[in-house]
Structure 1
Amino acid sequence: MKIAIGSLLLVLLVGSHAVAADGADRPNIIFILGDDMGYGSVAANNPKCTIPTPHLDRLVAEGMNFTDAHSDTSVCTPTRYGLMTGRYSWRSGLKSGVTWAFFPSLIEPEVVTVAEVLRDAGYETGMVGKWHLGIDFTNKEGQTIAEELRLDQHLFVNCGDFSAVNLKYDWKKLDFTQPIKGGPVDHGFNYYFGDDIPNMPPYVFYRNNRIVEQPTVPKPKEMFGIAGPMVPGWTLEAVMPALAKDARRYIAQQAEGDRPFFLYFSLNSPHTPIAPSNEFLGKSGLNPYADWIMQTDAAVGAVLQSLDELGIADNTLVIFSTDNGSTGKELNELKKKGCDLLHQFRGQKRSIYEGGHRVPYIVRWPGRTPKGSSCDATICLNDFMATAAAIAGVGLAENAGPDSNNILPLYLGQARAEEPAVIHHDFDGSYAIREGDWKLVFALNRKTKTFTRELYNLKADVKETTNVLDKHPEIVARLAQQFETQVRQGRSTPGPRQANLEDPDWMLPF
């Protein structure tokens, strides 16, 4: 399972700068991604969070807690795209919204993923959990849905437009016995087990590129979720335990091997459907949503327990983060009970403001990452791709990870030579660019198709209450120009210009 480098010097590139990490084995890498769980949902991050999260708190105590980390955007599909590709999601065909049921594969065949980078570097690559990046199902005539409907994946400008088609799609035309295409195993993962999207059809588990059991009945109306095909006897409460069990099984299997492994453990919680299993129902004493967060935390604990029991914790890098901020009416119920998960920032899921995309990001790498430390550098989940490549000791092709910065020096407790800007995006298509203390927002009004600019100094005003646009025209001009340059260059990192999707309906604030 371990590949020793011995006395060789591993050079890890940070843009044009180099940081040396000598004498280290390449670690196993486990990236755990929570779903709809904002920064304040981790008890260690929020004194007003009364939901116990002992396993996440353990990670904080044993590793590095990033206090200014951001998802690619403030909803799930685009964040997963950015995490997997190191490319801002709005450079793809997805300009707003998320993918829905029966949506074709969003990751373009030519776009490199972090799983492909690590697989080619000698890692075993596995994924367990929620994919939510589109899957190409095949109809009984042998066509994918996209082929049947003559859809071009590069022209999915607004997923809401396509949802009018795909949610009405007659699923009885599909042949679920055929291998799926465009899923995890077609994008670099040697292994996959998961449910894709827990609140959308088909309600099934996948293993590798096959559906485990055929969905032969329609979802009952009383069960949460969008109508569609379901495996007989399917229950939402059984999903999380199945994912946690398989993640542990995969870790144990890889511990017997002779190569390092990468596990992407993508949870379906605490996103709706709020479906804690009997073991956790009522455990928080607050409400089922709090119980659901506790079960999310327990899934993290199951991974940590496996690493301890197998004796591989010291050579395993564990990262926990989430895809966007928290949301839901249940948050108001919690607030009335003294548990305020949203008080630290403005906004929540779907928002361009901090509450939409500032997320927990915790790194534990024993002996490498300073124990009990914190980092206030601004980072993005897209940075994982370049960082993973550096850890594996490989470079990225010039067209790979165009919006991914190597943050390995931060993991090691070192300073970066540069603090690059980060671009934010929201559900409706608004943008923002963040550099240092300054955040310039381009808020989109979809009715008028116009953008309004707002400027905030997050050091002085982290809740974004005071727009200081008129007081700092020079900062506005500089950030606006930087944003436009990064869009037109097709990348935000050094390198040759990359192609953006050019579409006349793509609304931009310039």
Structure 2
Amino acid sequence: MSKNIYLDSNIITMKKIVRVFIASVFVLVGFIVQTIQAQNPNIIVILADDMGYGDIQAYNQESNIPTPNLNTLCEEGLVFTDAHTNSSVCTPTRYGVLTGRYAWRTRLKRGVLSGYSNHLIDTSRATIASVVKRKDYNTAVIGKWHLGADFAWKNGSCPKEADGLLYVAENNEVDYSLPVKNGPNQLGFDYSFIISGSLDMGPYVYLENGLATAIPDHMFPASNFPAYLRKGEIASDFKHREVLDEFTQKAVSYIDEQAKTKKPFLLYFALTGPHKPALPAKRFIGKSGLEAYGDMVVQVDWTVGEINQALKKNGIEENTLVIFTSDNGSYMYKIGEDQPDCFVDQMVEGYHASNHRANYIWRGTKTDIYEGGHRVPFVVKWPEVVKDGNTSDKTICLTDIFASIAEITNANVSSEMGPDSYSFAKVLSGKEDIKRPSIVHHSVNGVFAVRQGKWKMIFSNGSGGREKPSGKPFGKPYMLYDMENDPQEASNVIRANPEVAKNIEEYLNQVMIDQD
């Protein structure tokens, strides 16, 4: 982003100064201009967990779940209607957000990490935190990490099985009194307060700057839907219903503290909802009228409101860039009365097309390569730059957050950094389009898809996730959809467009070769 963008909200005022004051004041004006240009914005990236495109009323007018704070954010910011995650599940998307790089370029070729997995992001790799540190930012991550970190294993090394989603450390295998290594504090974050995995997997322990706030002292038993939890070690200060509140309090406190400093800050705030377990704080139970999942959405909305209030209270709202989005689509799925839920349990059964579609009209669900798995809400609020109440149909990917933050802060990054990231910074001011050639999507089972203009090609004979048939990676026949005329991916037109399919396949082959 050019420096002049930061001045858009001040141009009228500056011109008045020039007209009114005598020539000697030009020196002062020049000083003011330089000062404004030097004031990089505070940046807050709020990443919801499994929140669907249709969970926000501003995106889905048929939704009965009240989301007043998110609606206000949409009214005051720029709403992207064609935003996508690079993956349809948690870990790979989070990797892409922080590094601007597709996660299938790492050891993680499918699925997600466990709470015990070793680190996925190499400490030499640039992240949004390490990049803004070059511009003298304070940095923090609060919330769900789910990108691996190296626990102190008593036998000296992390077992290979720890990458498995169902892995449970038993028999006192981990020394929680020792610091976790190669985590967020080694990736550019000054402060971290996290859980290592997802809220439904152990270890159930808070890690503050790499140290457990309390030592796990017993094993928590597994439970089924709606409060789906895996067996895992748990600490005495860890209460599942209170985790999102705890993270929110920490985030608000961090904003309060940073407002007192003269330095800009970056806060990566990774929420734990509405991902399972659907365990909203007690004051939210019953607030949605749509059972536990809906109540979790209400709590997420409240959390966003708390962040906004903290900015207002501290007088830093105007020059704070807030991004709200989700790591993938919702696990709630029902596109119509003639199409049953692809995954049935007692909570999903309560969601009928007549009252709520978490993934809006999009086909599929979390884990799938279809739109419902990776098309997500994406809202940017930045009062000094972004005109409120606007929408954008530009196609963007969450990996683009890396390049955008680098441009906005004028941080110099090399071509090797964020190789799969394209800046949308100038889109925020309405000055330019994003120069993204395509997006490569990835499903839980390792199925690829490429979005290129109006075309979306799926390199599989199935969803790559929960919708049946699941198919196999590179299993034929492939699928090609015209997203302008068939956004619900109902008609495979690959036979009628062989040249389009050939060109997209060649593109994917080249992208997969271009590993860094």
| Normalised TM-score (structure 2) | 0.85
Alpha-carbon distance between aligned partners in 1 of 2:6 and 2:362, rounded to the nearest angstrom: 45
Indicate yes or no: 2:437 matched with 1:397. Answer: no
Q: Which letter does structure 2 place at the counterpart of 1:426?
A: S
Aligned to 2:384: 367
Cα offset, 1:221, TM superposition: 4.4
Aligned equivalents of 1:79, 1:417: Cα separation in 2: 20
* Residues in 2 aligned to 1:237 and 1:447: alpha-carbon distance in whole angstroms: 37
- Residues 204 and 230, structure 1, Cα contact 8 Å, conserved in 2: yes
Paired residues for 1:295-306 under 5 Å: 295-306=299-310
State the alpha-carbon separation in 2 of the partners of residues 363 and 426 from structure 1: 26
Give the equivalent residue in structure 2 for 1:72.
86
Q: Is the 8 A contact 1:286 1:337 kept in 2?
A: no
Match of residue 441 from structure 1: 458
State the secondary structure of the residue aligned to 1:198: coil
Secondary structure (helix, strand or coil) at the match of 1:45 reads coil
- Quote the Cα distance in structure 1 between the aligned partners of 2:176 and 2:317: 39
Q: 1:56 aligns with which of 41, 66, 70?
A: 70
Who is 1:217 aligned against?
A: 218
Q: Secondary structure at the match of 1:116?
A: helix
Equivalent position of 1:198 in the other structure = 199
CA distance in 2, matches of 1:345, 1:417: 24
| 1:478 to 2:508 alignment | no
Counterparts of residues 310-459 of structure 1 (less than 5 Å): 310-328=314-332, 329=345, 330-335=347-352, 338-416=355-433, 418-443=435-460, 450-452=474-476, 453-459=478-484
Contact 1:67 1:360 (C-alpha < 8 Å) held by counterparts: yes
Separation in 2, partners of 1:7, 1:70 = 26
Once the two structures are TM-superposed, the CA of residue 171 in structure 1 deviates from its matched residue by: 5.1
Letter of the 1:57 counterpart:
N
The answer on whether the counterparts of 2:460 and 2:471 sit within 8 Å (CA) in structure 1 is no
Q: Map 1:81-96 onto structure 2 (within 5 A).
A: 81-96=95-110
Alignment of structure 1 residues 459-498 onto 2, 5 Å: 459-490=484-515, 498=516
In structure 2, the CA distance between the partners of 1:302 and 1:417, relative to structure 1 (3 Å rule), is closer
User: Residue 20 of structure 2 corresponds to which residue in structure 1?
Assistant: none
Cα distance in 1 for residues equivalent to 2:6 and 2:71? 35
Q: Which residue identity does 1:404 align to in structure 2?
A: S
How far off its partner does 1:410 sit?
Answer: 1.0
CA contact 2:193–2:209 (8 Å) conserved in 1: yes
How much has 1:420 moved relative to structure 2?
1.8
C-alpha change, 1:65 and 1:448, in structure 2 (3 Å) is: closer
| Corresponding residue SS for 1:128 | strand
Which runs of 5 or more residues in structure 1 are unaligned?
11-20, 152-159, 491-497, 499-510
2:163 maps to 1:177: no
Q: 1:30 aligns with which of 36, 44, 64?
A: 44
Alignment-mate amino acid for residue 306 of structure 2: A
The CA distance in 2 between the partners of 1:246 and 1:168, in whole Å, is 28
The answer on whether the counterparts of 2:214 and 2:237 sit within 8 Å (CA) in structure 1 is no
What is the CA-CA distance between 1:184 and the residue it aligns to? 1.1
CA contact (8 A) 2:450 2:508 kept: yes
Is 1:42–1:56's contact at 8 Å kept on the other side of the alignment? Answer: yes
Secondary structure of the corresponding residue to residue 257 of structure 1: coil
1:247 maps onto 2:251 in alignment: yes
The offset of 1:122, in angstroms, is 0.9
Note the C-alpha offset of 1:224.
4.2
Amino acid at match of 2:498: P
Where 1:335 maps in the other structure, the secondary structure is: coil
* Cα displacement (A) at 1:433: 0.7
Partner AA of 1:375 in structure 2 = S
Structure-1 residue corresponding to 2:239:
235
Q: Which residue of 2 aligns with 1:157?
A: none
**Structure 1's 101 and 41: CA in aligned 2 closer, same or farther, altered over 3 A?**
same
Q: Which amino acid aligns with 2:243?
A: V
Q: 1:258 aligns with which of 248, 256, 262?
A: 262
Structure 2: tracts of 5 or more residues without a match: 9-32, 333-344, 463-469
SS in 1 for 2:149: coil
2:272 is paired with a residue of what secondary structure?
coil
Equivalence map 1:124-135=2 (5 Å): 124-135=138-149
Provide closer, same or farther for how the CA distance between residues 485 and 448 of structure 1 changes in structure 2, counting only shifts above 3 A: closer
CA distance in 2, matches of 1:366, 1:112: 28
CA distance in 2 between counterparts of 1:251 and 1:170 reads: 38
What is the aligned length?
463
SS at match of 2:298: helix
Identical pairs, percent: 37
Find out whether 1:106 has 2:120 as its counterpart: yes
Aligned counterparts of 1:308 and 1:171: Cα–Cα separation in 2: 49
- RMSD (CA atoms): 2.3
Query: Could you tell me how far apart the structure 1 residues matched to 2:213 and 2:41 are?
Result: 31
Which structure has the larger Rg over C-alpha atoms? 2
Q: Secondary structure at the match of 1:138?
A: coil
Q: Match of 2:337?
A: none
Q: Helix, strand or coil: the match of 1:173?
A: coil
Contact 2:385 2:429 in 1 (8 A): yes
Maintained 8 Å contact 2:79/2:378: yes
1:107-153 C-alpha deviation (Å, 9 max, x unpaired): 12332211111112211000110000012111235x241xxx4x5xx
